[in-house]
Amino acid sequence: MGYLYSAESLNSLRPENSRAVLAAACLLGGMDDLCGYAYELARQSISIENIGDWLEFVEAIPSPSDGTSTPIEQHQVPQSRTAVFGSYAQRLKDDVFHFLVVRLPSILNVSGVSTPVTPQTEGAPSDAGRDTLLQIYARVPFDLFKAAVESPTFQIGSDQARFKFAKDAITIRKRGTARGQGAEETVVLAFGGGGANMGSSAVHVTRKLRKRPLWKVNS
């Protein structure tokens, strides 16, 4: 509210409160400058340390329906708590996606590319960085996980290395994210396709409902 009276209030804007400030500015309206400042600070604040919080935020953003997909459970969903962010919600979701796919592998040195400091062989990234990446991807909502693993910008080595990474991540997800949704996630590697075509992927992630056991009722 202080911004209404003095632009000096921007001095109190911090990475840790930027998202809350953005929500307040969007809710009150007429504060485009403040929205812009808060959004930029929030976007730049995404890090390994707070990615868990950002994943929870992203998971609360409703995915736009294209009319071809069916949710796991059909029910009426109340308005999302992220609705107040308006168009900034999708922009922040895109920023989280970019962090997961491009920045995070680079930060963790999981790229399959040799460097003078940490020489690596193709498809054999450092175990510590890969393990951290796996633990983070094990918590990513499915739609974002699928898009990230299949993205041609997710450069962690060869198609085989990316397939192995997705397979290992899904194994961990079975104990948490996927298990709670009653769904089975799988990954396949399409030989002879994907990588040869610009913008396509040889790695494909799918999800299907687990069949519920049928109980026999004695009359």
Model confidence pLDDT, tens digit, residues 60-103: 988 765 444 444 443 444 567 789 999 999 999 999 999 999 99
Which residues, 6+ apart, have CB-to-CB distance to 57 below 8 Å?
19, 82, 92, 96
Residue with tokens 């450092």: 126
* Kind plus residue range of the DSSP H or E element containing 207: strand 203-209
Q: Given a cut of 90, is residue 146 above it in pLDDT?
A: yes
pTM of the model: 0.78
38-61 pLDDT, tens digit per residue, is 999 999 999 999 999 999 999 998
191 band by pLDDT with thresholds 50, 70 and 90: confident
DSSP string for residues in 163-184: HHHHHHHHHHHTTTHHHHTTEE
